[in-house]
Amino acid sequence: MQERRSYARLDLDGDVQLESGNGRSRIFKACLDDFSFGGFRMYSPERIEVDKGVRFVLTTKLLEQPLGGTGRVRHVQPVQKYRSTLFEVGVEFARVNQHKVIRLIRRTLGWRERPGFYKRHRKEIGFLLGILPTAFVVMWLVLGTADKIRDSAIKDAEYEAAFRSALIHYLSK
């Protein structure tokens, strides 16, 4: 089978409210699986005809407001998922706010980078978190010891000054 996708797909969980009609309008919910600049894939409980025009509303936690628009069903394939038969449906965007699509792509990519940073630097982060309490205690001890040494030096200087003064006073008699 020849690949027809023009854009890379990005995994994204969310909900789709879809309205399709062939004389009569049907509205149902589906699960968003992935999307791209050109369309999205979802899993639907109902079969939809290929090349059918649809209206959709995508809802995901990455957008403050749902993304709505119109599209055309490009492929439908039955699949076994979640112990039941669902229909994998590919929808190509016809009319949609391209700025919102770009914003959703950017947020999806940003969302993926955060866990990736932790995975790439897990050993270093673990080492730093493990050594941090020890470093804190060592610094506390060093600073506390430095304060005691300074206080001791001041007392020694005062004692020597008092001793010299007493010795001079005693010898001058």
Q: Where are the domains of the chain?
A: 10-120, 122-173
HSE of 14, CA atoms in CB hemisphere, 13 A:
25
Is residue 9 within a helix (H) or strand (E), and if so which, with residue range? none
Q: How does pLDDT run along the chain (173 residues), one tens digit per residue?
A: 455 667 888 888 889 988 886 556 677 788 888 889 899 999 988 888 899 899 999 998 888 889 999 999 999 999 988 788 899 999 999 999 998 898 888 888 875 545 556 666 777 878 888 888 888 888 888 888 888 888 888 888 888 888 888 888 888 87
Q: What is the chain's length?
A: 173
Q: Is 51 helix (H, G, I), strand (E, B) or coil?
A: coil
What values do phi and psi take at 83, rounded to 5?
60, 25
CATH number assigned to the domain covering 10-120: 2.40.10.220
